[in-house]
Structure 1
Amino acid sequence: MMAIAVASPKDLAETCEIGEKKAMDIIEGAKLCADIGGFETGDSILERRKAVTKLTTGSKAFDELMGGGLESQSIVEFFGEFGSCKTQVCFQLAVNATLPEERGGLDSEVIMIDTENTFRPERIIQMSNYLGVDPEDTLRKIHVARAFNSQHQILLVDKAIELAQTKKIRLMIVDSLTSHFRAEYLGRGALAERQQVLNRHMHDLLNFATLNNAVIAVTNQVAAKPDAFFGDPTRPIGGHIVGHTATFRLYLRKGKAGKRIARLIDSPNLPEGEAVFSVTEDGIKD
């Protein structure tokens, strides 16, 4: 009901193949049923925030940087150069989410939207064995879908919403968020359209997070190299659309002696800071 109440008349009309006037009437009716549109006090929001849970990364230093772990009802963006272990962090989060809450997990199943064909079940088995959980049971709880283009990627979020009605899904991973958009919308002429579609996709993800009290973990690429136009080589793809919609932004980079450094760039309530961790055969560790 809430999803219909906050939908735009144009989107609802296209989805249901009805006129915009009819769609507006339906949205107005949904607003009344869902009791939406009013203000609420800070203490009632604080009460609702008590439902928020934290997902461990596997590293105490990383968890402390994130105020105890990755927060549900939020989008956490990991961006960095090739080899900065973005995908490895996602694998670890997928395994950790299946753990009981007393071990820092979410006691849930996981959805992974794979846009670059990087999912490796062998890696999940290694991490599961180290944590002392049944690898086959863990793999059964991770639902992977390969996205072949940007429209397919958007459609898979709708499929995820359907799956979440029958299964407890508390983590969704999109690896990578922008690769298809970057490949399909070429040139400055297509930039406005790309940003519009990406904006809608990001809000669909945020909607999933809110409705299912879930963590959304997305990976993002960075601009290839510094030049007169791009400037900072660590600038993530997606511009302000991704920047403003992501709740937490983390920059991952290589450190010395095989270490990795996570820098918290943006957060609504946490200070900027860094955490050092390592990626081993057993997974993410201090």
Structure 2
Amino acid sequence: MAEDNETELEDLPGVGPATAEKLEDSEFDSLEAIAVATPSELAASTDIGDKNASKIINAAREEAEVGGFETGNKLLERRKNVSKIPTGGEEFDELLDGGIETQTITELYGEYGSGKTQIAHQLAVNVQLPEEEGGLDSSAIYIDTENSFRPERIKQMAEGVGIDEEEALDNIFVARAYNSNHQMLLVEKAQELAKEQEEEEEGKQVKLLVIDSLTSHFRAEYVGRGALAERQQKLNKHLHEAIKFTNLFNAAALVTNQVQSNPDAFFGDPTRPIGGNILGHMATFRLYLRKSKGEKRIARLVDSPCLPEGEGVFTINKEGIRDA
């Protein structure tokens, strides 16, 4: 997104001092944040009505150069801002052409013990690596829904890549989500935290948002076909907030996902990820993890807009994710 230091919120049509203050109080304090909002979100925050909210959003999009048509070459130029976070395994990184991308959602799904949480821990460490070592010299936000985050594991992985253990823990902001509504709220709070980090002189910018796991609360709270539509609607809204986060902060979103067995599958692997088409469409990269012999794990790239399907083998040891 384009940076614009000249246009103030009050320069937008229909935004006076009082409205600008309400927007800032609701975290719509930049042109980019307003540009990617919906009219209903903006109207609810400022009491100005959907029609006026639409005018403000359209003006912000024009000023911030968001949402219009552009040539392929211009888009290619903007894509140069995309960064990648290495996983720790060369073969795994090769599968992803260097690691997980910023400005996207990457989904990891697989059975218990396939390595989803281990990879999430490793990326929360690797994003802190200096740029010359392949990292982004940044911090991470970790939303834990299954009480699976372990600071002791972070310390082991930090030692494995040569980062100070205490600093590594200081650069990971962890919150435990107790239900789906709380989980959705935490993604909104993550935007506030990331903004605070940007404003701090000594703070590291947030370049990774982890949700581990994305679907466990939704799966437990919305049971049966009668609740499916409501579950998918809330999950869709949740994922849109995650995408908004990645665009606002040029960050990567990593979500882990549970699986279920498809009894109708007579051939091949019957394992299927939870979340249906909503998650299938929203996740830019989908990786299926499964166990192999001993400490070996296999990552299969199932879906990507620009990379071929393929598999990579990695191991999980005391130091973290490594080559097999």
| TM-score category, normalised to shorter length | over 0.9
Which of 64, 75, 96 pairs up with 1:34?
A: 64
Which runs of 5 or more structure 1 residues have no equivalent in the other structure? none
Equivalent residues in 2 for 1:162-241, closer than 5 Å = 162-167=192-197, 168-223=205-260, 225-228=261-264, 233-241=270-278
Which of 106, 112, 115 pairs up with 1:82?
A: 112
Task: Sort the Cα spacing of 1:142 and 1:36 in 2 relative to 1 into closer, same or farther, 3 A.
Answer: closer
2:316 counterpart of 1:279: yes
Partner of residue 51, structure 1: 81
Which of 151, 165, 179 pairs up with 1:121?
A: 151
Partner of residue 246, structure 1: 283
Partner of residue 109, structure 1: 139
Partner of residue 13, structure 2: none
Distance in structure 2 (CA, Å) of the matches to 1:241 and 1:84: 23
Contact 2:95 2:312 in 1 (8 A): yes
The TM-score with structure 2 as length reference comes to 0.84
Partner of residue 155, structure 1: 185
Distance in structure 1 (CA, Å) of the matches to 2:174 and 2:292: 31
Which runs of 5 or more structure 2 residues have no equivalent in the other structure? 1-30, 198-204
Partner of residue 128, structure 2: 98
Task: Sort the Cα spacing of 1:230 and 1:192 in 2 relative to 1 into closer, same or farther, 3 A.
Answer: farther
Partner of residue 303, structure 2: 266
Indicate the percent of aligned positions where both proteins have the same amino acid: 61
- Bigger Rg, which one: 2
Structure 1 range deviating more: 242-251 or 10-19: 10-19
Query: Residue 163 of structure 1 aligns to which amino acid in structure 2?
Result: L
Structure 1 counterpart SS, 2:306: coil
Distance in structure 2 (CA, Å) of the matches to 1:62 and 1:90: 14
Deviation at 1:17, TM superposition (A): 4.5
Query: Residue 84 of structure 1 aligns to which amino acid in structure 2?
Result: S
Distance in structure 2 (CA, Å) of the matches to 1:36 and 1:250: 30
2:98 counterpart of 1:68: yes
Deviations 1:196-232 (A, max 9, x none): 1111111111111111111111100001x33249996
Task: Sort the Cα spacing of 1:132 and 1:34 in 2 relative to 1 into closer, same or farther, 3 A.
Answer: closer
Query: Residue 137 of structure 2 aligns to which amino acid in structure 1?
Result: D
Structure 1 counterpart SS, 2:289: strand
Partner of residue 16, structure 2: none
Contact 1:222 1:233 in 2 (8 A): no
Task: Sort the Cα spacing of 1:262 and 1:229 in 2 relative to 1 into closer, same or farther, 3 A.
Answer: closer
> Comparing both chains, which one has the higher relative contact order based on Cα–Cα distances under 8 Å and sequence gaps of 6 or more?
1
Deviations 1:67-106 (A, max 9, x none): 1111111111000001101001111111111111111211
Query: Residue 183 of structure 1 aligns to which amino acid in structure 2?
Result: A
Name the Cα RMSD after superposition.
1.8
Deviation at 1:275, TM superposition (A): 0.4
Query: Residue 262 of structure 2 aligns to which amino acid in structure 1?
Result: P
